[in-house]
Structure 1
Amino acid sequence: MNETQKVHTQKAKKKKSIKDKARKIHLWTGLSTGLIVFIMAITGCCWVFKDEIKSFSHHYTTVKVQNKPFITATQAKVAAQKALPGKKIHGAVYGNKDQAIEVTFYEEKPKFYQSVFLNPYTGKVLHVEDHLSGFFAFVLRGHMYLWLPEAIGSRLTSYATLLFLAMVITGLILWYPRNKKNRKQRFRFIWKPTTGWKRKNFDLHTVVGFYISIFAFIFAFTGCVMAFNWFYFIAFKATGGTKAPQFIIPNSTVLKQAPKAQPMDELLPRLQASYPNAERFELHYPAADTASIYVEIFKTTGVYYNIDYRFYDQYTLKELSTPSIYGTYKDAVFADKLIRMNYDIHVGSIGGLPGKIIAFLASLVTASLPVTGFLMWWGRRKKKALPKDAQEKPDVVAV
């Protein structure tokens, strides 16, 4: 054997070694997390069009326009508190002239999350919605906790997402054919009338898996950003982030004697004048005497990344700055914007309706990969030999 042949042999052995390791990682991560990935992908499909579906059925969110001003933030708080006495108010959402005011209530322990919808002109209670019940609440619990206790379910879904990221990478390594002759059938289905179900299942896993891999990787990566603080921090710093990546609410200056008027009531008219084309304003009531009022200004329907977060002293309405990435969008740099886009990328809303359709279909197809991967593994256990039309040993084992 000459030197050239030795080099080729060593390269072939190295490639085989890499594929063997990738195959084992792919197999065992697939078998251990396949059911979890399936549930998360299916529930992800259902979640994508939540806002569109709810807009058809929630008629109490719209009202008849009247020629009078909206009730103030203080009046909205008082009216909503009567509907849910003793519960902690989080904020009030003011929309267009034909939209109800949504006052949100939230408590961490025990978990409580409800909204009171008010007529913006009279303060009349139109509806009380429990965000922890109903179809979409059920879907979200499945996606985030597998309908298990949160402490257990969140760990399972978080680490399954991280392992799924490894599965996508190892799947691509295994997908690459060992010889040129087999490359065509890794890009498209080449089925004959005599093609058996194992060959078809293998093609469904490999061909479909290849085309969906970029979307699967995005789902997994953005999921990891939300699931792990360390992953979030690394992703932020790796893209050049320098600000504080967490949400920071600056403090107000506590006055010895609070003013008799309610300064917060003057804030909405100011914001409406500054943002005439805003979709809605979410005013958050100060959680303590030292806290500031923070406002979220939504500029585009269906997305969150370009929200302006602004903070005001609750006594003087002086605007306060924050060292966080969550300030005004115009002041955000590339790393800030990328992190702020994470959720919108995850659900596809970053691309509008076409983006959501792509996310829905990609998530649905992703759910098929654990199924076809399991059938491949099960078929090999049942029968060692492959059909005649599938003599090449498949490179992908399971997802």
Structure 2
Amino acid sequence: MSTVNIKKIIGKVHLWLGLTSGLVVFIVAITGCLWVFQDEIRTWVYKDRMYIDPPQDAVRLPLTSLIKDAQEKLGEQYDLERAYYPTAANETVYIQFRKFNEGDDKTIYWYGDYIDYFYKVYLNPFTGEVLKIEDTKWEFFNVVIWTHFTLLLPYSIGHEIVGYGILIFVIMLITGLVLWWPKNRSAAKQRFWFKWKQTTRWKRKNYDLHNILGYYAMVFALVIATTGLVWSFDWVADSVQWLANGGKNLKTNHSVPTIPLTESGQAHRVDSVMNTMFIRHPDARYFYIRFPRKPESPMSINATMGHHGYGNYIRYQINPYSAEIIEESGFDDLNNGEKAIALNYPIHVGSILGIPGKFLAFFVSLISASLPVTGFMIWYGRAQKKRTKRSTTKPLPKTLLTANH
């Protein structure tokens, strides 16, 4: 089979896979753009709920007191789930209440059915004043991230569609490179940069946007797409760990410890646990607390020492009734495969390289979102051209048709 025929087949594969997955790729990529700078945007847009002017010589209230204030303000019918407790004096605490539907309460048709409720109650840690009750279920960035990995469909359906859509996108990037590859040097000169003139038509510009931007973004887009697939498919996550561990399957037992049910009637010693955390980590930037959902489950706390939650945290499993530390682990305790998975998120959003990395992820995601659009326009333009040619082809005269018979 000749090279021309192979490229023709690859071109057909590229076209039909693109038409199949284009809408999914566009939605996932554009929501990825919106998500990249969500930390920076939140601190600006939500500063009234996230920051305060701390009073002089004031003492922080116990976490149990803040939880009580939040629960009373929101309503006793909502289940406590998590708490974010920063150590900076000018930052607020938030208490989180959330409940998922597993199909027992009502039929799940979309995201609005999947999450029953999701609230964050922001409080002044010194006075207990409730600054904001945020309906996080419909908060902009929360809707963005759920659109990003479920398309606002039921989780089991949307997560699968996104996963396979991105898997197709990876194939598209590879086949796109094959189609882009020039035959010779003179052809290559036309494919590395835009050589537009005033007379250049929009079809040519659209074609160049698809090919040239796609070429420069390809490697970075592959990284972002592959790190996304880690969350979509277990076999991708297992493969990443296998490679990072040097071709070995190293499975560490991370089973969640259970609490003796004989202690379940006791009250949670949350304030005692937090006192221990402050003593152990006076340099912590924040503590992220996950409260147990079952009587036999432990309390989980992340003590994070910097602005980024990777590589500089200690994770605790704690008996909430006795305040005893059951398990303590950090980034350095992970094997190489587990470290690769832990770094998956900061690589995915570019934050592993700081603000420059976020800008890179933003523009790569923006280009990725443009590729289905420019690709569709290329296909549509060619299809229209073929239809025009067919419609303008003159039929044979009737006399000739009669003579042939």
Q: Could you tell me which amino acid in structure 1 is paired with residue 81 of structure 2?
A: H
Hey, what's the Cα distance between the residues in 1 that align with 2:345 and 2:232? 12
Distance 1:298 1:252 in 2: 25
Deviation of 1:350 after TM superposition, in Å, equals: 1.7
Give yes or no for the alignment of 1:32 onto 2:37: no
Q: Which moved more, 1:197-206 or 1:94-103?
A: 197-206
- Shift of residue 194 of structure 1? 4.1
The match for 1:320 is 326
The corresponding residue for 1:97 is 89
CA offsets per residue over residues 187-229 of structure 1, 9 Å max, x none? Answer: 1223344433333222221111110001211221111111223
Do the aligned residues in 1 keep the contact of 2:18 with 2:172 (CA within 8 Å)?
yes
1:265 paired to 2:257: no
Deviation, 1:127, is 1.4
Q: CA deviation at 1:150?
A: 4.2
Aligned CA RMSD, in angstroms, stands at: 2.5
- The answer as to whether partners of 2:311 and 2:332 remain within 8 angstroms in 1 is no
CA distance in 1, matches of 2:172, 2:132: 45
d(CA) in 1 for partners of 2:282, 2:133: 29
From 278, 284, 309, the equivalent of 2:315 is 309
Report the alpha carbon displacement of residue 164 of structure 1 after superposing the two structures with TM. Answer: 0.5
> How far apart, CA to CA, are the structure 1 residues paired with 2:19 and 2:256?
44
C-alpha separation in 2, matches of 1:186 and 1:106 = 51
Give the alignment of 1:1-399 within 5 angstroms.
13=1, 15-16=3-4, 18-58=6-46, 59-66=48-55, 67-82=57-72, 83-95=74-86, 96-109=88-101, 111=115, 112-240=117-245, 242-244=250-252, 248-255=255-262, 262-304=268-310, 306-321=312-327, 327-383=329-385
* Equivalent-residue separation in structure 2 for 1:138 and 1:270 (angstroms): 36
Question: Offset at 1:18?
Answer: 4.2
State, as a whole percentage, how many aligned pairs show the same letter: 35
Is the 2:264–2:321 contact (alpha carbons within 8 Å) kept by the matching residues of 1?
A: no
CA apart distance, 1:14: 5.6
Q: For structure 1, which runs of at least 5 residues remain unmatched after alignment?
A: 1-12, 386-399
Which deviates more, 190-199 or 284-293? 190-199
Q: Is the 8 A contact 1:281 1:296 kept in 2?
A: yes
- Tell me the SS of whatever aligns to 1:188: coil
Distance in 1, matches of 2:279 and 2:162, equals: 44
Separation of aligned partners in 2, 1:46 and 1:259: 45
Q: Give the Å deviation of 1:255.
A: 4.0
Counterpart for residue 108 of structure 2:
none
What is the SS of the residue equivalent to 1:186? coil
Residue identity opposite 1:213 in structure 2: M
**Distance between the aligned counterparts of 2:143 and 2:290, measured in 1?**
27
Distance (Å, rounded) in 1 between the aligned partners of 2:265 and 2:154: 43
> Aligned in 2, Cα 1:150/1:259: closer, same or farther, shift over 3 Å?
closer
CA contact (8 A) 1:252 1:312 kept: no
Shift of 1:79: 2.0
Q: 1:153 to 1:287 in 2, by over 3 A?
A: closer
Q: Distance in 1 between matches of 2:312 and 2:259?
A: 25
Aligned residue type for 1:242: L
Q: How big is the shift at 1:285?
A: 2.0
Residues 158 and 228, structure 1, Cα contact 8 Å, conserved in 2: yes
The 1:257–1:282 alpha-carbon spacing in structure 2 relative to 1, beyond 3 Å, is closer
Question: Does the CA-based 8 Å contact 2:230-2:236 persist in structure 1?
Answer: yes
**Range 63-72 or range 355-364, more displaced:** 63-72
Indicate how the Cα distance of structure 1 residues 224 and 337 shifts in structure 2: closer, same or farther if over 3 A, else same.
Answer: same
Deviation at 1:16, TM superposition (A): 4.0
Indicate if the aligned counterparts of 2:240 and 2:340 stay in contact, CA closer than 8 A: no
The Cα of 1:149 is off from its aligned counterpart by 4.5
Could you list the structure 1 runs, at least 4 aligned residues long, displaced by more than 6 angstroms after superposition: none
Q: Secondary structure at the match of 1:140?
A: helix
In 2, the alpha carbon distance for the partners of 1:306 and 1:237 equals 24
* Range that drifts further, 57-66 or 158-167: 57-66
TM-score where L is the length of structure 2: 0.82
